[in-house]
Structure 1
Amino acid sequence: MKVTYFNINQPVVAVNQGFFSATKAWKHKRIYQDEAFEIIIVNNGPLYLQIDQQQYTIRTNEMLLVPAKSVVRGWKDSPFNTQYYWFHFFPAPQSTHKGKFIHNPEKINQGIIPLPLQFKLPEIKKSYVLANQVLDIANNPIYPHIAIDYLLTELLIELSNDFVKSFTTTSNNKISIIQGWIRSHLSQHLTVDQIATHFEFNANYLERIFKQQTDLTIIQYINQLKLEKAQELLSKTNLPIKQIAALSFFNDDKHFMKQFKKVLRLTPSEFRKSYSSKFQDSDSFDPQKLLSKDTDINYCQRFNLK
């Protein structure tokens, strides 16, 4: 598989970003990307895009990386209520290259992260929470531009991490199978003994190898999945906190609020309030305005260009 490698030892420069929701059947207008890359994360699809001569169908929970120097257009109407996050950005100078994906943890530790053109995100998506954080910071004038850059870079790292995990996971990885089973049965009141019995493991042995491979206990992993689901619902819906607790598979909303505050240092209401801003609609983006590094003041200031 071909990927683009980004060196993120220096954060990317955010250009503009938003969340688009189609109020009717809609086709993406023609845009020339010039020197900017774009990340698209589809919240509700499908989205039909053509990049140069290649047509793509991007479905719900899929990501698309639009390369620089690309012409982007819709190749047919996307349906009513198509929704997606979009982020234009410039990498640091001479910090990208294309190549075949080879899983290399040492390279990733050195700050070289791979992103494919398209892939499906995990069922529980931390990326959605980060996307909302980027938009919230971008719409808050008290934050300097560099704060948006760092958060957007964190989003790219998370997307790359999701891709690497999905690409390198095999059916022979027993812990990955167990994690998938836990995600599928999250609505049940799961215990370590129940999981161990299902997979014919000794409970103590299962706990030990699970912790070795994930750095989490099984109960911590279960709670993490539930809290990620809660964060997604809080940032994407206006449902009452009690209903969100139930939809995140907590039996008690008071226990849910206690766990949420313990892990995230915010109450669910405080977390939701962080994402109350109205975000820029992509229809307000001018397709005739080229995204050029030479005219972007933040890029020029960061890299001392005149």
Structure 2
Amino acid sequence: MNYYRFSINDIVIFMVGGVFTAQKGWKHNPRYHQGDYELIICTKGPLFITVGDQDYRLASNELLLVPPYALMKGSQPSPNDIEFYWLHFILPKDTQLVKNIDPVELSGDDAGASRLLIPEKIRMANLDQLLILSHQLLNTDIQNPYDRKTANYLATMMLLEISKLTLSQLTTDRTSEAERISRVKEWIRTNLYRSPSVLDMANEVQLNPQYFSRLFKRITGIPPKKYLLQLKLQTAQALLIRTSLSIKEISDNAYFENEKLFMRQFKQFTGVTPSEYRAQFDQIYHNNQVISPTLPIPEAITKHLKDVPDFGRAPKD
């Protein structure tokens, strides 16, 4: 998805606009945009439009922003009667194009109050406010200097409405994706015993594996494979400190493939061997043997815990 953004303090310059209706079978004639943008608000569709080499299908309640210096043409006849509003305007000089980016990857700065963010295409649940502004705009006499100023403000207000909806949707997307990652982290914890792959994790939250990996790292700061390894190593650390199990037994019960792999990865992660780690913490935790219930310790191992009469609870006096 491409987005256009500019300062919230700038004013849009309105040029010309109107409402267009046509019967079934209509196809947009080729038109080259010079230095102006065109906002198409589809109220009855679908419309089939090509901008440059990108094809768009606009259904009712969908908006398309056509950039300057682009050839726009119909790609195929509309199967139904159509209606759309068309508005031409010039955006401020500081307008930036943000190309080919996932909405959740937009920086928090974009969600602030300093800039408007306009997507090239968006669907709106309700067009009422935009259509009211459109009618006010189209009924303004732009030959009058005062009304010309009013038209510019009305066009700016329309883009403010679109930006507000866009940012609201981005916030919702970020919250939804964060909840997905939180859910999959819990799923990984409960399925650690089978060493799930990235594909398994992505399938659990119904996301493309590549997108899932990027999203997981963006939200947690580490890739999913590293998170899985860290969880295994944390489980091993707890078992080293609070049990007398052998290194091989700990390797098995922390769900590592083999003992050698466990020892190598443990030292890379902690800087010491499992035995050295156990020796360092043996005295520190002698009187505090409760393992965090959030770690996926195998049930069969809890009986090996030292000085814990009731797993997960402090000893009673």
Q: TM-score, normalised by structure 1?
A: 0.51
1:15 equivalent in structure 2? 15
Q: Which amino acid aligns with 1:96?
A: Q
1:49 equivalent in structure 2? 49
Change (3 A) 1:85 1:103: farther
1:78 equivalent in structure 2? 78
Choose from 123, 137, 148 the match for 1:120.
123
2:215 equivalent in structure 1? none
Q: Which amino acid aligns with 1:47?
A: L
Q: Please give the alpha-carbon distance, in whole angstroms, between the structure 2 residues aligned to 1:23 and 1:143.
A: 37
Q: For residues 25-54 of structure 1, what are the alpha-carbon distances to aligned partners after superposition, in whole Å with 9 as ceiling and x for unaligned?
A: 211110000111111110011011000111
RMSD: 2.5
Change (3 A) 1:31 1:106: closer
1:109 aligns with 2:113: yes
Q: Please give the alpha-carbon distance, in whole angstroms, between the structure 1 residues aligned to 2:127 and 2:78.
A: 25
1:34 equivalent in structure 2? 34
Unaligned runs of 5+ in 2: 177-317
Q: Residue 109 of structure 1: SS of its match in structure 2?
A: coil
Q: Residue 117 of structure 2: SS of its match in structure 1?
A: strand
Q: Please give the alpha-carbon distance, in whole angstroms, between the structure 1 residues aligned to 2:71 and 2:23.
A: 24
Contact kept? 2:2, 2:119, Cα under 8 Å: yes
Q: Which amino acid aligns with 1:104?
A: G
Q: Which amino acid aligns with 2:7?
A: N
Q: Which amino acid aligns with 2:166?
A: F
Q: Which amino acid aligns with 1:135?
A: L
2:134 equivalent in structure 1? 131
Q: Which amino acid aligns with 1:109?
A: A
Contact kept? 2:36, 2:67, Cα under 8 Å: yes
Contact kept? 1:62, 1:120, Cα under 8 Å: yes
Q: Which amino acid aligns with 2:167?
A: V
1:58 equivalent in structure 2? 58
Q: Percent identity at matched positions?
A: 27
Q: Residue 137 of structure 1: SS of its match in structure 2?
A: coil
Aligned 1:1-306 pairs, distance under 5 A: 1-99=1-99, 100=101, 101=103, 102=106, 104=108, 108-110=112-114, 112-123=115-126, 125-138=128-141, 143-170=146-173
Q: Please give the alpha-carbon distance, in whole angstroms, between the structure 1 residues aligned to 2:159 and 2:11.
A: 10
Q: Residue 29 of structure 2: SS of its match in structure 1?
A: coil
Contact kept? 1:37, 1:90, Cα under 8 Å: yes
Q: For residues 228-269 of structure 1, what are the alpha-carbon distances to aligned partners after superposition, in whole Å with 9 as ceiling and x for unaligned?
A: xxxxxxxxxxxxxxxxxxxxxxxxxxxxxxxxxxxxxxxxxx
Unaligned runs of 5+ in 1: 174-306
Cα distance, 1:104 vs structure 2: 3.3
Q: TM-score, normalised by structure 2?
A: 0.49
Q: Which amino acid aligns with 1:86?
A: W
Q: Please give the alpha-carbon distance, in whole angstroms, between the structure 2 residues aligned to 1:8 and 1:138.
A: 25
Q: For residues 115-156 of structure 1, what are the alpha-carbon distances to aligned partners after superposition, in whole Å with 9 as ceiling and x for unaligned?
A: 111111023642222222211225796852111011000000
Q: Which amino acid aligns with 1:154?
A: M
Contact kept? 1:62, 1:119, Cα under 8 Å: yes
Q: Please give the alpha-carbon distance, in whole angstroms, between the structure 2 residues aligned to 1:172 and 1:142.
A: 45
Q: Which amino acid aligns with 1:16?
A: V
Contact kept? 1:6, 1:97, Cα under 8 Å: no
Contact kept? 2:45, 2:80, Cα under 8 Å: no
Q: Which amino acid aligns with 1:49?
A: I
1:237 equivalent in structure 2? none
Q: Please give the alpha-carbon distance, in whole angstroms, between the structure 2 residues aligned to 1:138 and 1:23.
A: 29
2:302 equivalent in structure 1? none
Contact kept? 2:142, 2:151, Cα under 8 Å: no
